[in-house]
A and B are shown apart, each in its own frame.
Chain A
Amino acid sequence: MNRRARLLLAAATSALALPAVASSAGRPQQVVLPGPVPYPTPLPPLVGRTALPQLFISPRVHVSSTERVMVGVGPDARPAQIRVRQRLLVRGKGDYQLAIGGPIDDALPAPGSQSTPGLRTDQLLWAGFSPGRKVLAADVFLRPRAAAPYLPVRLRLQREGDRTVLTVKNATAFAQPIYTGTARLPELARLLDETRRASLAGVRLTGAFANFYGAVLTLNHRPTIAAPLRVRGQLTLPGQTPVTFDRILGDGRPLSFHVEARGAGKPHVRLEASPAPVVRLLRPPGGAPTWAQAVKRHPLSVADMVMKLMTTRLALVRADQFETYLADPDADGRTRAVYGYETVALEQHPTATASPDGGSGSDALLVVFAALGAVVLAGGGLIAWAHS
């Protein structure tokens, strides 16, 4: 079942289940839990101003997407240029006709691509035949004003004398109504364990239901949900040792932090952010290896566990949403996105950095991000930049 079908099923089941609860207290009611869809906001993935042509993917063909979103920021650390290197891996033998929407200015073939992308107004196009495996890679230049609001991290850079403060904020937060009610602890524990396993494995949630007994209520308080993000990088002032940082924003930790550096000259920011698993919030209490064990060892509150189940699943849904900045035309495809931010000179037009042959080799911004990515990976980062 594809993502859209699951969404429809979930929506339909919710519509059926919730009214039934009110009229039949005492009997268990299946309530759809968050995930894998719907996403809490329509974007990302980005959309363009034009209607996409009809897509075709052979039933034997599957498409996964890995994206490196490269954000060039100005002196105030606001996005000035946004480029996405999207690499679609087509597996299976058959035809494909793909269109990806977004505020797209231009698209060039990226190194390793086995085909050349087509471009229409706000559309990136791919068409051809996959003999079993095919790589479609493009450097996609976006209009920053339209694309920037959907980046997962916001930066702000302030100078006070010789003091420079970089503020890094998780921009994925949203308020969401949460259902609560009475459910059985073993079932809640099992569902939390399943959610935790999916989170730690880095796989998308599968649809799940919980049996509630009695009334299912909506909490008056709308908790703030955010995708956990891992943010690593450095703030540098000329002649000074870079101030490095590696934080998780979300997952029970603050959604923003400050980095301070002292010295004169223009500050240089370089960081990488990526959706992270929910680890801390899903850790069973009391050192238990699983939630199933935890409920046997300690008296736990049903309300707390329901809240935890709902909020952690919503956080994972939000994290999954930011794995796709440019859409993957295959709704069931595996997606991964890494967001790199770096201070750039504003005079430079984004397309000016692309080499005529498709951007290989001479792109300073890309090289810098690649180098940063290599350092981060060498340091034991969790993100596997899945270029197989």
Chain B
Amino acid sequence: MRRTVVVLAVLALLAAGCGKSGHQAGGDVVVAIDVPVTGSPYVAQTIKQGVELSTAGINSGGGLIVGSRSYHLVVKVYDNHLSARTAVEDTRNALDAGAVAIITDGTGVDATWQIANRDHVAIGIVYDGGSGLVDPETRPNVFRIAPTNHGIAFRYAEYLIPKHLKVGLLHDDSAYGQEGAADLDKAFSENPSSVALKVTLPAGSSDLSAQILRARRSGATALLVWAQPPTIAAVLTAARSLAWNVPIYTPPTGADPYIRQRLADHPDWVDGLTFAGGRLTAEVGTGPFESFQSQYESTYGADYVGVRTAGGKQVVQPPEFAMYAYDFARVLVAALTRAGSFDHEKVLATMNQVTTQGANGDERGFNQHSHEGVVDDDVYFARFHDMIYAPVKNDPLSSTLPSIPQTR
């Protein structure tokens, strides 16, 4: 009898040791997402799925380990409707729910960061590159993993000015367009002779013929359009309708599926459209990103653009912004684990000290002087052909990057 008891005890110990985690269950930990579910559903969905993919992986791998306990991460989604006022409400609700961090597209951060900062709760921006949103000195709780407007504008200046183009700087009157215009002004201020004209476009207008004609008459030999996707589509339509084959450059919104859907009947109008974005691959190659994309698609399905190539293949959108959301969640988890507690102040300080490997193989992390997870150097340029894009070959960084498969 005694021998049986001993054997059972040993087996019980062995069973405990063979589990996924030797840590005691600690309960749920809330990660809040505040995104424009009803204002910009594609952005909202890709961010939500990126965070969920990350937290699901952590939960299935034994959970979030903080101290001696293992916690289950729970994602709570709020819809900010692209409204700063709603974002403020969402932030308060998220804090009431005990969120350890709030991951957002960036809507309303100018108002929400102070509310979150009172509780030393981190805000992670994973879409909006607006300058001024992130400042480690004045906004110690705001972090970002997404290309910055500042970086994109300066990279464009670095890329276009040596080509001796006369650039028409166009932006729409949305907040996004105006913020981008301010960064472009700064970036091109050292070389005013490179700028042919500056024009503000009415956001939402489908007919921009007059403005594009004016740009053409100014002698512009390139257009840099900082605008929402509908405005970019309207610029392309106006220019190509006028048989003006001027090269058109855009910020990351140029890659938005909307533009290709809108111009599906004129795929040649999309050809040559160049946009700036954060690199999807690191020097190690396409492997890490493709692995992430595969994991993403096997969980949520591919993000179909809704257009086909000339060869009839369906075009899919690589999950770039999902990657940023995924990476932010991983950095947050690394900070919580290293802090070894849920003391918000300690976690916030630890956010500056940890690095994780991002979904694209790059190191992701922040530091005391920079809360930007995508450095300006990581901005690359890609050009469309046949509804899919590939890195350009006439830029030092872009020329080193491989193409990501975009057809199924």
A-to-B contact residues, CB < 8 Å? 50, 53-54, 56, 58, 93-95, 97, 107, 115-121, 123, 125, 127-129, 131-132
Contacts and interface: CB of A to CB of B under 8 A. Distances in A.
Interface residues of B, number: 18
A95 B283 contact: yes
A280 B369 CA distance: 48
B400 A94 contact: yes
Interface in B350-381: 352-353, 355, 363, 365, 367-370, 375-378
Given A95-B282, A117-B369, 19 more contacts: A50-B353, A56-B363, A58-B283, A94-B283, A94-B400, A115-B375, A116-B369, A118-B368, A120-B367, A120-B368, A125-B367, A127-B375, A127-B377, A128-B375, A128-B376, A129-B377, A129-B378, A129-B397, A131-B397
Contacts of B365: 53
Contact of A128 (B353, B369, B377): B377
Contacts of B376: 128
A118 B370 contact: yes
B19 interface: no
Given A58-B283, A116-B369, A131 B396 contact: yes
Given A95-B283, A116-B369, A127 B396 contact: no
Nearest to A131: B396
A53 B367 contact: no
B400 A118 contact: no
A116 B365 CA distance: 15
16 contacts: A54-B355, A93-B396, A97-B363, A107-B369, A117-B369, A118-B368, A118-B370, A119-B369, A120-B352, A120-B367, A127-B363, A127-B375, A128-B377, A128-B378, A129-B377, A129-B397
Interface string B234-270: 0000000000000000000000000000000000000
Contacts of A129: 377-378, 396-397
Nearest to A58: B283
Interface of B: 282-283, 352-353, 355, 363, 365, 367-370, 375-378, 396-397, 400
Contacts of A53: 355, 363, 365
A220 B232 CA distance: 82
A119 B355 contact: no
B353 A121 contact: yes
Contacts of A107: 369
B377 A118 contact: no
Interface of A is mostly: strand
B400 A115 contact: no
Nearest to A134: B377
B32 to A, nearest CB: 26
A44 B377 CA distance: 31
Contacts of B378: 128-129
Nearest to A53: B355
A120 B365 CA distance: 11
Contacts of A54: 355, 363
B368 A119 contact: yes
Contact of B370 (A95, A116, A123): A116
Nearest to B136: A119
B392 to A, nearest CB: 14
B326 to A, nearest CB: 19
A93 B377 CA distance: 12
A208 to B, nearest CB: 35
A197 B365 CA distance: 46
Contacts of B368: 118-120
Nearest to B369: A119
A280 B397 CA distance: 49
A332 to B, nearest CB: 19
A116 B363 CA distance: 17
A133 to B, nearest CB: 10
Nearest to A93: B396
A132 to B, nearest CB: 7
Nearest to B158: A131
Contacts of A128: 375-378
A41 B121 CA distance: 44
B140 to A, nearest CB: 14
Nearest to A54: B363
Which residue of A53, A58, A123 has the most chain B CB atoms within 10 A of its CB atom?
Answer: A53
Contacts of B396: 93, 129, 131-132
A117 B352 CA distance: 13
B293 to A, nearest CB: 21
A120 B106 CA distance: 25
